[in-house]
């Protein structure tokens, strides 16, 4: 595994542990309505970030782990994920910056914990200003003045309560950072296998951004920015329009949101706590934002300001709900993939595969009776989890994909890899599909059983093509049975690699090698080598999710590079990064 890929794998381990704790503990704390539950989750994240860095003290590990944990938020059923995703990434970025500034010392880790926790307060302030607008500042100042009049407390300014809260948040974050140092130290002292350890599985695991919406082909990466621009324009208009016109604008925007996602609007409409908060905001504004000296308990002007703040809040929360849905769209992965961010995609895919297993492994009652022991076990499991991912054991195998344009030599490259495997004495099985040429033209394909070394005719060109079936070939049932036997488990005893040439439109329709692939994904725990045309690579990984996949291009990448990626010696000097 290349160095730049390896740090992403380590970040995937830390990020998936962090994400698993967010999902398990976050749901528990939310259901119990425990106050400051967000800060408790942040403290656990700080402990895991510090422990992860002390396990693998590498630059860039922490912010990558935060980015991966933020990506895991797309699994959340919550309609609004943009804020939590931003918070997680900012906490990791602040921790990374403090660790670098402190040159990896304890002081830097403690300061990083304080900054990461302080972000929660800063985010709450900034989000409140964004949601309610400038009038909320006046409301805050009036509340502080009211508190002074009722209690006699002395404040040097309106910033004093915020600074006091900031100090408390920073101190709590430092305590979490110190706990992370202590947990990592305890994990190092324990010998042998960790008592807490996930069992990685492939089958049935979710795939990032998969099956989140029907209209994949209509999605554009500009859509989230378009909704963000619409949100900004609407807020500006509401600031200058009269109350009736602002109400009309809000109504039109809610109708657009209803058309875009009825469930999103329905969830907000059904939140009693949200509407109770809006009512309290209006009442406080009527009580505190009236003109000085007014003898009215509820001033109409203050009530109008409160109503305007609530309308703005509804507009902002609904708008960010729409943007959050866009961040869950399947097109996100395709857009990222076109930016050649393969290491990030690899890490995200591993994290999405690993997180459910980690959730299952977290001991429920013990997590509350002895949280220190559970956290120590989680940190202790990091090295073992990384090794499991690297080696592809425990059902967490790798998938190597050979792709390329028609005629680029995909099967030829696969055959060269097979020859290299034989030279290395590696155990493998599977099938190749060499061409049948007649007068120099492709007339069909053979299926070659790599385990037995025998061949049969797989398909021949159709004399009268059937438009209801993909492709221009008619398949021989005997050839299909022959290939399925070559792919059927149990394979040869030491066949850690299975080669499948080729996966195409037939397999996506449940024909061809689809049944054999379903059985392989259930039973095979080693690596695979697929031959897939470029337009179908993403769909194949959706159909048969792989925790760790890498793509090689026929005509560009030599067989030696594929062998090197498999961990075998390669007699080549050429090296191309994907």
Phi-psi region of 444 (alpha: psi -120 to 50; beta: other; left: phi over 0): left
Quick one: 177 and 285 in the same domain?
no
Quick one: 67 and 186 in the same domain?
yes
Residue 572 resides in a domain = no
| pLDDT at 577 (0 to 100) | 35
Q: Domain end: 376, 391, 406, which one? A: 391
Domain tally for the chain? Answer: 3
Quick one: 63 and 208 in the same domain?
yes
435 - beta bridge partners? 445
| pLDDT at 234 (0 to 100) | 85
Residue 16 resides in a domain = yes
- Going residue by residue through the chain, which has 578 residues, state the pLDDT in tens, using 9 for 90 and above: 445 567 888 888 888 888 877 776 665 665 556 667 788 889 999 999 999 999 999 999 999 999 888 887 765 555 556 778 889 999 999 999 999 999 999 999 999 999 999 999 998 888 888 888 888 888 877 777 777 766 666 666 777 788 888 999 999 999 999 999 998 988 887 655 444 555 444 444 434 433 333 334 455 667 777 878 888 888 888 888 888 898 899 888 888 888 877 777 777 777 777 788 888 888 888 777 766 656 666 778 888 888 888 888 888 888 877 777 776 665 565 555 555 556 676 677 666 666 666 665 565 555 556 677 777 877 877 877 777 666 543 344 678 999 998 888 999 999 999 999 988 888 888 999 998 888 878 888 999 999 888 999 998 887 665 655 556 788 889 999 999 989 886 555 456 789 999 999 888 888 889 988 888 887 777 789 999 999 898 888 878 877 567 889 998 889 988 888 887 755 433 333 33
pLDDT tens digit sequence for 64-114: 999 888 887 765 555 556 778 889 999 999 999 999 999 999 999 999 999
What residues contact residue 367 under an 8 Å CB cut-off, 6+ apart?
24, 25, 374
Quick one: 429 and 514 in the same domain?
yes
3-class DSSP assignment, residue 313: helix
Sign, CA dihedral 559-562-566-568, equals positive
User: Nearest 5 degrees, angle CA 128-CA 41-CA 165?
Assistant: 45
Residue 160 resides in a domain = yes
pLDDT tens digit sequence for 542-553: 788 775 678 899
Separation of CA 87 from chain center = 14
3-class DSSP assignment, residue 474: strand
Quick one: 152 and 11 in the same domain?
yes
Residue range(s) defining the domain that contains residue 304: 221-327
Residue 479 resides in a domain = yes
Quick one: 74 and 30 in the same domain?
yes
Quick one: 199 and 298 in the same domain?
no
Quick one: 112 and 15 in the same domain?
yes
- Among 426, 298, 516, 494, smallest CA distance to 530 is for 516
Quick one: 30 and 150 in the same domain?
yes
Residue 367 resides in a domain = yes
Quick one: 384 and 435 in the same domain?
no
Q: From CA 252, how far away is CA 445, in angstroms rounded?
A: 59
Quick one: 319 and 358 in the same domain?
no
Q: From CA 176, how far away is CA 182, in angstroms rounded?
A: 10
CATH code (residue 508): 3.40.50.300
Q: Domain end: 327, 357, 376, which one? A: 327
Residue 171 resides in a domain = yes
Give the number of C-alpha atoms closer than 13 A to the C-alpha of residue 28, restricted to the C-beta side. Answer: 14
Quick one: 246 and 291 in the same domain?
yes
């Amino acid at each position: 595994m290349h160095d730049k890929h390896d740090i992403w794998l380590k970040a995937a381990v830390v990020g998936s542990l962090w994400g698993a704790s967010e999902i398990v503990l976050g749901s528990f704390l939310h259901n119990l309505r425990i106050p400051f539950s967000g800060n408790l989750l942040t403290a656990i994240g700080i402990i895991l970030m510090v422990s992860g860095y002390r396990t693998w003290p590498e630059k860039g590990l922490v912010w990558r782990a935060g980015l991966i944990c933020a990506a895991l938020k797309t699994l959340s059923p919550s309609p609004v994920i943009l804020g939590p995703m931003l918070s997680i990434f900012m906490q990791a970025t602040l921790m990374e910056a403090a660790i670098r500034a402190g040159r990896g010392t304890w002081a830097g880790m403690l300061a990083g914990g304080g900054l990461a926790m302080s972000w929660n307060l800063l985010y709450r302030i900034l989000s409140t200003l964004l949601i309610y607008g400038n009038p909320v500042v006046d409301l805050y100042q009036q509340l502080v003045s009211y508190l002074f009049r009722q209690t006699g407390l002395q404040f040097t300014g309106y910033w004093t309560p915020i600074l006091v809260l900031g100090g408390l948040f920073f101190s709590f974050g430092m305590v979490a950072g110190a706990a992370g140092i202590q947990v990592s130290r305890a994990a190092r002292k324990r010998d042998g296998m960790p008592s807490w350890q996930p069992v990685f599985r492939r089958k049935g695991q979710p795939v990032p951004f998969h099956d989140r919406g029907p209209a994949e082909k209509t999605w554009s990466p500009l859509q989230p920015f378009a909704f963000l621009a619409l949100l900004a324009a609407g807020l500006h208009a509401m600031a200058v329009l009269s109350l009736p016109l602002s109400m009309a604008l809000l109504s039109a925007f809610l109708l657009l949101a209803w058309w875009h996602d009825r469930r999103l609007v329905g969830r907000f409409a059904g939140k009693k706590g949200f509407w109770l908060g809006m009512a309290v905001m209006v009442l406080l504004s009527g009580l505190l934002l009236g003109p000085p000296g007014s003898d009215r308990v509820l001033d109409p002007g203050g009530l109008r300001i409160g109503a305007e703040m609530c309308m703005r809040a509804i507009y902002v929360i609904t708008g960010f709900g729409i943007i959050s849905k866009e961040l869950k769209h399947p097109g996100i992965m395709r857009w990222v993939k076109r930016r050649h961010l393969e290491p990030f995609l690899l890490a995200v895919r591993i994290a999405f595969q690993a997180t459910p297993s980690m959730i299952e492994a977290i001991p429920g009652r013990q997590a509350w009776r002895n949280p220190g022991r559970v956290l120590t076990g989680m940190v202790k499991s990091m090295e073992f989890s990384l090794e499991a991912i690297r080696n592809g054991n425990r059902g967490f195998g790798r998938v190597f994909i050979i792709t390329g344009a028609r005629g680029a030599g995909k099967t030829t490259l696969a055959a060269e890899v097979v020859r290299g495997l034989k030279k290395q004495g590696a155990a493998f099985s599977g099938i190749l599909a060499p061409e049948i040429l007649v007068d120099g033209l492709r007339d069909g394909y053979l299926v070659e059983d790599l385990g037995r070394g025998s061949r049969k005719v797989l398909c021949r060109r159709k004399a009268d093509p059937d438009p209801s079936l993909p492709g221009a070939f008619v398949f021989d049932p005997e050839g299909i049975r022959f290939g399925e036997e070559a792919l059927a488990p149990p394979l040869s005893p030491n066949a850690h690699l299975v080669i499948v040439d080729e996966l195409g439109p037939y397999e996506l329709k449940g024909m061809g090698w689809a049944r054999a692939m379903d059985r392989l994904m259930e039973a095979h725990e080693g690596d695979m080598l697929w031959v897939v045309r470029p337009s179908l690579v993403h769909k194949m990984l959706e159909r048969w999710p792989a925790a760790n996949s890498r793509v090689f291009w026929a005509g560009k990448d030599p067989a030696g590079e594929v062998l090197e990626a498999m961990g075998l010696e390669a007699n080549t000097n050429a090296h191309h990064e994907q």
